[in-house]
Copies of this chain bind each other. A is one copy, B any other.
């Protein structure tokens, strides 16, 4: 099968052996797979990601000397089942799944793995118990947004907001937009959202933001309701951002760190101490949140179409990684490996 492979620090298209499903595994055809900002970060900071994974119990670091196929936001079609595996859904059924393979000693990630290819390949393996059927009528490209939406849903849940906070979303890339959608669905308003890009601010409004701010023009913190506790969602994930939030946040603010900063960062703790700030770092989602996100999309609760700015085949993956640097033009690019 063909795949867009992370090999030697570059993205190359080549042929790989088709995966063979084992017990509890399902062979699927990849219909669509979104490119995540974490894939761009991983391509740029692969060695750092490996170094941190090596020092974190329970995480399997990538071996960068071997092939890796990224892609963890996928919608697929069932092709075949491994031995002794209940054939719960007919071949041809469209499915989504958390990008995890359940093994005897616990779940293993896919997409940043030497063992399990991600969605930038014509075929992949899923864990049978994690498959969720795409509700009839939900377009494949919208179903592929389940994963990034779940990230936003989880950030809002894990942030343990009481519902009476004044939310501010810093950064309106896919993560920030998903957070805005999740806040709106939970009724936590008014939602203030900040991004330098006019296009991203427009999308923020489509996702449910009440007030959008260009930080080059005014401070988004000035738009927070003064009588409520601020809940600030850091959805950028670059060094320096956290310290910026420390300096700008009002007293007692709750900061949910949803941006995935893979580089070392510098902070001045005194700002956080003086203001008694609290932080919740978040990653991923629960199975319930993932399933809920798929239902939200199927019920038309989120304007999925607005988020998709381009579709490419495997040959277009490398160019798409570069194109995504242009936030004015692109939000979510879907890879369709069968093209």
Interface residues of A (CB under 8 A from B): 48-49, 52-53, 55-56, 58-59, 158, 242, 247, 251, 257, 260-262, 264-283
Contacts and interface: CB of A to CB of B under 8 A. Distances in A.
B52 A268 contact: yes
A270 B158 contact: no
Given A55-B247, A247-B55, A270 B261 contact: yes
A48 B49 CA distance: 33
B158 A271 contact: no
A50 B48 CA distance: 36
B257 A272 contact: yes
A280 B278 contact: yes
B283 A52 contact: no
A326 B257 CA distance: 38
B283 A269 contact: no
A27 B21 CA distance: 82
Given A56-B275, A269-B281, A273-B281, 9 more contacts: A55-B247, A56-B271, A261-B273, A262-B270, A272-B281, A276-B281, A277-B281, A278-B279, A279-B280
A248 to B, nearest CB: 10
Contacts of A48: 270
Contacts of A58: 251
B273 A260 contact: yes
B279 A283 contact: no
Contacts of A279: 272, 278-280
Contacts of A270: 48-49, 52, 260-262
B269 A261 contact: yes
A103 B282 CA distance: 41
Contacts of A271: 52, 55-56
A200 B267 CA distance: 29
A56 B274 contact: yes
A20 to B, nearest CB: 30
A59 B273 CA distance: 12
Contacts of A59: 274
Nearest to A246: B281
Contact of A276 (B269, B275, B282): B282
B268 A267 contact: no
Contact of A265 (B52, B53, B158, B268): B268
Among A242, A260, A274, chain B packs the most CB atoms within 10 A around the CB of A274
A52 B274 contact: yes
Given A276-B158, A276-B282, A283-B274, A265 B262 contact: no
A247 B54 CA distance: 11
Contacts of A277: 281
Nearest to A274: B56
A49 to B, nearest CB: 7
A266 to B, nearest CB: 6
Contacts of A266: 264-267
A242 B242 CA distance: 14
A110 to B, nearest CB: 16
A273 B257 contact: yes
Nearest to A251: B58
